[in-house]
Structure 1
């Protein structure tokens, strides 16, 4: 009897001791930016609030698919980073919550425009232009001409030398597909994608993977957001960054609160913190060269100057809609990805 009482008392004390840990505040963060930036944001928020962050990094296309799959039992609280199109699609499908941050007045107009177009179910956190980069050493070794336009990438001498992500999993690649449609029209745009397919050596899962492979000398040309190419060049790799001559699209990297998440108040705290100038300044620590949405946040002098790049009038409403995304991806799957290389 005494032994049983002692064991029961020990168990009760153990539960009481565990109580604070079990009730500790937490947040589940889905992150679609570069891995080191995701980790820095998670750690920075923990330091600022003592809220424990469980962070998962996946590409924006994968994260959108995960949030959709979990809709009946949401496991995430906040989705931070990645191209804006899938965030807009998540908003359209009712997968994210409407929220208006009290620091809205500190944000760039394009960040507010992103929010307004989605009923405040998402917001812009950074911006960056699409383009590509190439390894100058590998290019020279293979006696290849220097590309400067989108259509240069169709040249037969680049066969096996170009890499991009799969638009089904990558927001970067979906932005590429949507950009080509807007630059050349759908008929010519899909002929372009078919011609490009002949030169692709691999469709990666992650949008930044093609330029990382080029930096390592495993690939020659990577179609990516220009800031991802700048990051590799800044790290000392022989990468030249190209803003295509015909013009190019751009992203508004976004953030959304998952509908019916388990920690809604902590999600709002992260949302407000992530939009602050101090939080956005963390990007400089990991050489993230996007343009921040907070007007008071510093921008690296290495960041691509968007005012000097020929940007198209990207139609976020059209290409951020679920129906258009599904239609374009199915057409790409049926007419491009199945072709021989």
Structure 2
């Protein structure tokens, strides 16, 4: 009996403790994940919400003394960058075989230092009331966002802090060519009222009537529409990029065992099927997870063959962000 009691005590000790999580998704889904995990495990979650770019910067700055155990969500490019720099831990979950090919490819391309947890296409959401009142036609293409009647009506995030905006930058480079994309962004700047820190902030501003249109992932626009706001999501006619929202364990994590427990748990269909309850309409990575009916389906969107390896490369990312700072940030309104 004493031996059994000792064994149970050790198991409980291993399952208990803390877990330090960075969540790079909307605060509602972050809080839902935290609550659901704590309800199922004897582990206290200390969570901070940061955008993808901020998360990468924090993990990189703390590399010698990690204060984060696991990074959940946010665009895959900075996750891949962290993986290439050895900032994240190699881990192959037993759930890997249950995932869609795009999520497994994300894991394989990173040397299993990150994995796809959801996916979503880039586009924009516009306030139907504002555009109707101003007599502005629905913008269906990237080219339409340059029209003079949209002056002061466009918001997009800063790609230095936002994974959404970096995906937009990298997508335009792949669609148009790099020089042409930067010429486009210079013209678009004439219509941009604000470069936000958070990737989803522009469409939230559109929902509140503070701006006409926000360049965001389409599921963020649909979340606003599902909340009753007059917002419509658009997939650009020329084609668009997409994200593979990812998850990574931080190398040297102080709560490594608990990080792996979260990692395996977050890949289950039960957890991913709950995303819609937080009005999160991405495509889940587990093939058995329930896909929200509102979620933008890839087969209905003209997607580019987004080059995650190239645009998740640290040198490519650094060069594009420096060019954005010099040519767009320097003239930003």
Shorter-chain-normalised TM-score: which range? over 0.9
The CA deviation at 1:50 is: 1.5
Structure 2 residue aligned with 1:190:
182
The CA deviation at 1:143 is: 2.0
The CA deviation at 1:107 is: 0.5
2:108 to 105, 113, 116: 116
Structure 2 residue aligned with 1:331:
323
Structure 1 residue aligned with 2:57:
65
SS at match of 1:76: coil
2:88 to 96, 101, 105: 96
Distance 2:271 2:136 in 1: 42
Q: Decide whether the 8 Å contact of 1:160 with 1:201 is kept in 2.
A: yes
Distance 1:139 1:311 in 2: 26
1:106 to 87, 98, 101: 98
Q: What does 1:9-48 correspond to in 2, within 5 Å? A: 24-48=16-40
Distance 2:167 2:332 in 1: 24
Structure 1 residue aligned with 2:289:
297
Q: Please, what TM-score do these two structures have when normalized by structure 2?
A: 0.95
Distance 1:278 1:51 in 2: 19
The CA deviation at 1:179 is: 0.3
Structure 1 residue aligned with 2:122:
130
Distance 2:125 2:44 in 1: 37
Structure 1 residue aligned with 2:237:
245
The CA deviation at 1:340 is: 5.7
RMSD: 1.3
Q: Please, what TM-score do these two structures have when normalized by structure 1?
A: 0.92
Structure 2 residue aligned with 1:256:
248
Distance 1:26 1:333 in 2: 39
SS at match of 2:190: helix
1:209 to 178, 181, 201: 201
User: In the TM superposition, what whole-angstrom CA distance separates every residue of 1:49-104 from its partner, at most 9, and x where no partner exists?
Assistant: 11110010010110000001111110000000000000000001110000000111
1:145 to 137, 142, 148: 137
Distance 1:198 1:324 in 2: 26
User: In the TM superposition, what whole-angstrom CA distance separates every residue of 1:215-262 from its partner, at most 9, and x where no partner exists?
Assistant: 000110000000000000111111111000000000000000000011
Distance 2:40 2:93 in 1: 18
Q: Decide whether the 8 Å contact of 1:29 with 1:76 is kept in 2.
A: yes
SS at match of 2:188: helix
Structure 2 residue aligned with 1:279:
271
Q: Decide whether the 8 Å contact of 1:290 with 1:303 is kept in 2.
A: yes
Q: Decide whether the 8 Å contact of 1:197 with 1:337 is kept in 2.
A: no
Q: How many residues align?
A: 321
**For structure 1, which runs of at least 5 residues remain unmatched after alignment?**
1-19
Structure 1 residue aligned with 2:5:
none
